[in-house]
Chains A and B, each alone.
Chain A
């Protein structure tokens, strides 16, 4: 990575975070490592939608590692104040993601996500990552 690109990347990161903050997004993210493979996971909740992701970056041999993400998303209808909870899951090589959208007249309440990864016989998990808008 060239120095110029690094600088642009840093500026982009700052811009993205500032943008996230100004829009009131609630985000949880983290990283981990197993057998030298880097895992990143995130759980983001917006006023009317949410998503969660797990990614793994393995070595250059083509072994990407397997990951999964599952979660439950709760939203509230602002007319009836009835809360609905819905679930979803995804698994794959290298990356997995789930996303939710609340119906009209509904606001996000909570996203609980479970992340896991396997690489070269080693396992990692982050259960019950709980995010409230």
Chain B
């Protein structure tokens, strides 16, 4: 009898797993990693309600159920559309190449950029149709976004893709422990990282206490000065020029200041610009064992100490961001219908819900991967007030709309990036200036000046053509 009870419990476990797999997106072990270039249609047998079927290319981590495709297409018909949509899943690792060799695509996710690849290459290879003709003043899609958001996806002066609002634009936050600063001191803080120097006072030098906690990973330190950093190159808002992180004045100043703070003992934990400091930082934050905390992104780690700190955040800056956007294939036979579909998906939550929610009737059931690929955070973050936020509160980068083309010097650019990445932590060196000279020599040998010169020349041309 007892054995039967155990069997029943084990069956229940199996039932829980099987029953929940679909809802929370558990993949099975046969998750398709086909990289032969053959598109894998998500459904084999669906009776589409219309003759005209659009095909939407997505990377293989996007998952939509057959049921949702059926519901989505019914909703489109109910809205008066004379077309349906199906999804074509392509391997994430070879997304761009497979997309280009796949026929009959009408709408396509443009792919993610990496530190050595830009999806602008697809656009410059004429994969996407320019949307400018569709984006008339009356266009609902045009008016859904701020002009700044549209500019963030423009390439060489034209718009080919729709901005991805899953991406966020936030400033850098300076979090002050109220125990160590007066209101006046905090109010007078000028939002400059280097000015913390005047506020930290005598180093505490006590175990389990760090005067400064810095949690901005890798190259994102450039945001302290509102700058974009791409492939180790800083696009300087101050100088209007582009240089490596080890030549750009504000970046070198940042490394110097961090080096100074480190030597003085203001940083009393294993800080690295690479990553993985979140747990150490959280412990220090939770016990309020810090004076100043510098970070970017959401501040949920402050939930338990919010009454003890004062947060000052810099104004967000919008930079070019074509990665993760979605557009219409240049050779689509159904470009008008594709634009109608994009308009509906991004402006009507009753259509969007079938693409990003596990349960279309539960607005809390969105999966971030699906939202990120479709390109809307309507259900997890909310798009209400988004346009106004960008119009009124977000600063436009000097380089907004410019997309550097590294393809002309791709080998050198890749080597430069590697050197920059490998040396991100030289600020910890006993003799920082010597280390800086060493890295500069490496960069010179790798052709950093040539790459910088090429990119700066591209920017000058871009400005003239604008």
* Interfacial residues, chain A to chain B (CB-CB below 8 A): 3, 6-7, 10, 13-14, 17-18, 21, 24, 26-28, 30, 47, 74, 76-85, 101-107, 109-110, 112, 128-133
Contact = CB atoms under 8 A, between A and B. Distances in A.
A14 B324 contact: no
Interface string B200-237: 00000000000000011110100100000000000000
Interface size class of B (residues with CB under 8 A): 35 or more
Contacts of A110: 61, 92
A84 B62 CA distance: 18
B13 interface: yes
A47 B324 CA distance: 18
A15 B112 CA distance: 37
A109 B20 contact: no
A18 to B, nearest CB: 7
Interface string B162-190: 00101111100000000000000000000
B297 A130 contact: no
Contact of B323 (A7, A82, A133): A82
B10 A10 contact: yes
A27 B166 CA distance: 25
Contact of A107 (B170, B323, B368): B368
A104 to B, nearest CB: 5
A47 B368 contact: yes
A85 to B, nearest CB: 7
Interface of B: 2, 6, 9-10, 12-13, 16-17, 20, 24-29, 31, 33, 60-61, 63, 92, 112-115, 164, 166-170, 215-218, 220, 223, 274-276, 278, 295-297, 319, 321, 323-324, 368-369, 372
Contacts of B297: 78-79, 104-105
Contacts of A84: 114-115
Most buried by A among B29, B114, B323: B29
Nearest to B231: A82
17 contacts: A17-B13, A17-B17, A26-B27, A78-B166, A79-B167, A80-B323, A81-B112, A81-B164, A82-B115, A83-B113, A85-B114, A101-B278, A103-B217, A104-B217, A105-B217, A105-B220, A131-B31
Contacts of B33: 112, 128, 130
